[in-house]
């Protein structure tokens, strides 16, 4: 697999025009909304006689409402029509909306501007399913995490720059309103020009009959997604992030003003630090994941969100300043850097959390239903954001301070994460695998792209240590059904992990013939369902580092279900604490060091009609070489 930088995608036509199209869309949304909210906050009397607080809550609500009403339809459109064409029509709609908004700016007609906010919500709703369904059609599997990271980084940078520019332009005297009106049209035109360069993305379901009823289509989309449990729970986990983020960001204005005693520049500083954190975390995903979809980063992100969310509460208690401050003077206050560090780290771990989820949804979802699945997720995101607003209002009504809201959200995030990762333990197991191979060992995968991303196959490997399955799992693009000794399978607590991971226990025929036969039936069923099954044909851990005789179980498996057999070899684990080294494993492990090197080498897939235990054993020996 290529190990290029994700930024090289910005030089390629298959990615760059699409990136800039979505960037200018997010940028324009926030220039317009921020300018309008700024006018209503500081110059409301010349625009309307309505209560400013009501309008400040109405405007974000109107932007979110189209996601609930039209996401189901937008998902169908993205699945039925070529995505480049859909993007171009959406950008033309943006130009029309900004032209209408310009008339509202020039005539100071607040209701035209409010209608334009709803229009931009429709624009974002239509573009959302295209945004994430486009990437799998144009990026390779080893580029998907990096591409999603760049997209998320661009989105949050666009939001940040849009909010800063919108606030700066509208207060510029005497041409503030004119600058916003013209600037928004110009940005929309730039987005449309970039959309003209988006390459063709064939429609996955061109003959789709569109259901125009959003309620029934939404129910149908979510019901379809629930059939794929990892995808559905990834959708829920994604929506939970928007719940967490909505509560956090909604508190920033009052937190900056009433708790930190800062002016508007302090609020902008908090938002800037958070946005840079999200961008940095999103980009960091590619390096930490090794250019593959690594869902082990999701628990890592969730842990960080809780730790630094709770620490933000503690840091806020240490902030004692009561004098009014600007962004610059805020930095001189005791505890200010700790607060900014916590906010930055929340952003970092938010990026690590959200990017692998998008990549998992894109790779595990039915390609013909991807846009509609993304649309269903957008509806769920909107609903979670509404619930977040209600939850924050309830906590404030119960007398919670803003730092206490941070603490409660962090604790709630931990509880939700525990639930999700207990229901789908693949997240947690991949996290454990990721931690081990990035701390205890330096692991290198050789030809790991030969492990198939789809379809049934049997993986055979030498058995060196109790860590073998974790190393193999860490390099697999999807879950593996491991065949394991029934005595290990029954170890307390670990038995729950093995059951939830769908491991298959096996026993020798002389010990438990019924369980042995059931194991082969379970393996056949797993292969029939298109799963990967991994066996260790030696049947036991090596006691001297050499590869033991391969048993005939693999032949029995492929006789029942003829599928490709892929030989693999582990090198570097012999002599570790988790192996059965007859010598002094402590001494050898110490000599090897805490970051000892090990490798997983994957061989060529073998025809099931041409294999034998002896032949597979020889291939594994050749892959391993002389290094144990």
Token couple for 480: 């593996």
**Are the CB atoms for 285 and 149 separated by under 8 Å?**
yes
d(CA 280, CA 172): 32
- CA distances to 12, 205, 230, 358 from 364, in Å: 26, 18, 8, 10
To the nearest 10°, report the CA torsion of 68, 73, 75, 77. -150
SS3 for 163-226, per residue?
HHHHHHHHCCCCCHHHHHHHHHHHHHHHHHHHHCCCCCCCCCCCCCCCCCCHHHHHHHHHHHHH
Token couple for 62: 């109107």
Of residues 406, 384, 426, the one with CA closest to residue 231 = 426
What is the arithmetic mean of pLDDT over 182-211?
91
What is the arithmetic mean of pLDDT over 1-23?
80
pLDDT of 101 over the 90 cut: yes
Q: What is the pTM of this model?
A: 0.75
pLDDT of 339 over the 90 cut: yes
Higher pLDDT, 531 or 546: 531
**Are the CB atoms for 350 and 305 separated by under 8 Å?**
yes
Burial zone of 588 (CB within 10 Å; 0-12 exposed, 13-18 middle, 19+ buried):
middle
**For 138-149, how does the pLDDT look when each residue is reduced to its tens digit (9 = 90+)?**
888 778 777 888
To the nearest 10°, report the CA torsion of 561, 565, 571, 575. 20
pLDDT of 580 over the 70 cut: no
Q: Around Cβ 582, how many Cβ atoms within 10 Å?
A: 9
Burial zone of 607 (CB within 10 Å; 0-12 exposed, 13-18 middle, 19+ buried):
exposed
d(CA 620, CA 611): 13
Per-residue pLDDT band for 453 (boundaries 50, 70, 90) equals confident
pLDDT of 612 over the 50 cut: yes
Per-residue pLDDT band for 192 (boundaries 50, 70, 90) equals very high
pLDDT-wise least confident of 36-40, 511-515, 516-520: 36-40
pLDDT-wise least confident of 33-42, 97-106, 269-278: 33-42
**Are the CB atoms for 355 and 154 separated by under 8 Å?**
no
Sign of the CA dihedral 69, 73, 79, 81? negative
Task: Provide the pLDDT for residue 586.
Answer: 47
Per-residue pLDDT band for 48 (boundaries 50, 70, 90) equals low
Task: Provide the pLDDT for residue 593.
Answer: 47
What is the arithmetic mean of pLDDT over 402-428?
85
Average per-residue pLDDT for the chain: 83
**For 457-473, how does the pLDDT look when each residue is reduced to its tens digit (9 = 90+)?**
999 998 887 778 878 88
**For 234-283, how does the pLDDT look when each residue is reduced to its tens digit (9 = 90+)?**
888 888 988 998 888 878 877 888 889 888 788 888 888 988 898 888 88
Q: Around Cβ 177, how many Cβ atoms within 10 Å?
A: 19
What is the arithmetic mean of pLDDT over 400-425?
86
């Amino acid at each position: 697999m290529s190990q290029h930088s994700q930024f090289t995608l910005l030089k390629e036509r298959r990615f760059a025009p699409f990136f800039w199209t979505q960037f200018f869309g997010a940028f324009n949304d926030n220039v317009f909304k921020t300018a309008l909210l700024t006018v209503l906050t500081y110059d409301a009397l010349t625009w309307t006689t309505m209560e400013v607080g009501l309008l400040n809550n109405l405007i974000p609500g109107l932007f979110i409402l189209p996601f609930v009403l039209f996401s189901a339809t937008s998902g169908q459109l993205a699945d039925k029509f070529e995505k480049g064409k859909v993007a171009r029509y959406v950008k033309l709609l943006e130009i029309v909306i900004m032209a209408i908004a310009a008339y509202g700016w020039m005539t100071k007609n607040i209701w035209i501007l409010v209608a334009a906010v709803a229009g931009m919500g429709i624009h974002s709703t239509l573009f959302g399913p295209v945004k994430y369904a486009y990437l799998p059609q144009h990026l390779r599997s080893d580029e998907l995490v990096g591409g999603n990271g760049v997209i998320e980084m661009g989105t949050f940078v666009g939001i940040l720059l849009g909010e800063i520019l919108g606030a700066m332009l509208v207060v510029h005297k005497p041409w503030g309103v004119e600058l916003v009106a013209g600037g928004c049209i110009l940005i929309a035109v730039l987005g449309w020009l970039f959309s003209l360069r988006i390459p063709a993305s064939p429609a996955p379901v061109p003959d789709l009959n569109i259901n125009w009823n959003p309620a029934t289509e939404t129910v149908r989309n979510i019901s379809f997604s629930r059939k794929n449990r990892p995808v559905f729970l990834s959708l829920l986990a994604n929506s939970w992030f928007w719940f967490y983020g909505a509560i956090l960001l909604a508190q920033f204005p009052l937190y900056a003003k009433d708790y930190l005693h800062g002016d508007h520049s302090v609020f902008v500083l908090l938002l800037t630090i958070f946005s840079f954190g999200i961008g940095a975390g999103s980009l960091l995903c590619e390096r930490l994941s090794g250019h593959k979809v690594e869902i082990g980063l999701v628990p890592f992100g969730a842990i960080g969100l809780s730790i630094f969310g709770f620490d933000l509460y503690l840091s806020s208690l240490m902030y004692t300043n009561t004098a009014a401050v600007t962004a610059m003077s805020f930095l001189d206050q005791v505890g200010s850097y700790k607060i900014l560090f916590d906010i930055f780290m929340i952003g970092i771990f938010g990026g690590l959390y959200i990017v692998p989820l998008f990549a998992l949804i894109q790779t595990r979802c039915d390609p013909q239903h991807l846009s509609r699945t993304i649309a269903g997720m957008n509806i769920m995101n909107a609903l979670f954001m509404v619930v977040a607003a209600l939850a924050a209002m309830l906590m404030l009504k119960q007398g919670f301070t803003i730092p206490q809201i941070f603490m409660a959200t962090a604790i709630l995030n931990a509880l939700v994460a525990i639930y999700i990762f207990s229901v789908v333990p693949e997240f947690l197991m991949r996290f454990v695998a990721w931690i081990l191979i990035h701390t205890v060992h330096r692991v290198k995968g050789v030809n790991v792209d030969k492990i198939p991303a789809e379809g049934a196959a049997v993986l055979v490997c030498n058995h060196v240590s109790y860590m073998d399955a974790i190393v193999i799992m860490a390099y697999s693009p999807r879950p593996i059904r491991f065949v394991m000794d029934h005595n290990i399978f029954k170890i307390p607590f670990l038995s729950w992990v093995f059951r939830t991971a769908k491991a298959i226990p096996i026993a020798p025929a002389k010990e438990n013939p019924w369980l042995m036969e059931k194991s082969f039936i379970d393996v056949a069923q797993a292969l029939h369902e298109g799963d990967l099954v991994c066996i260790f044909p030696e049947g036991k851990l090596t006691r001297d580092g050499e590869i033991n005789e391969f048993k005939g179980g693999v032949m029995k498996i492929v006789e029942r279900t003829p599928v490709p057999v892929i030989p693999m070899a582990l090198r570097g684990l012999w002599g570790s604490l988790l192996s059965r080294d007859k010598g002094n494993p402590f001494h050898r492990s110490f000599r090897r060091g805490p970051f000892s090197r090990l490798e997983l080498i994957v061989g060529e897939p073998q025809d099931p009609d041409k294999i034998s235990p002896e032949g597979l054993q020889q291939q594994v020996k050749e892959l391993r070489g002389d290094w144990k």
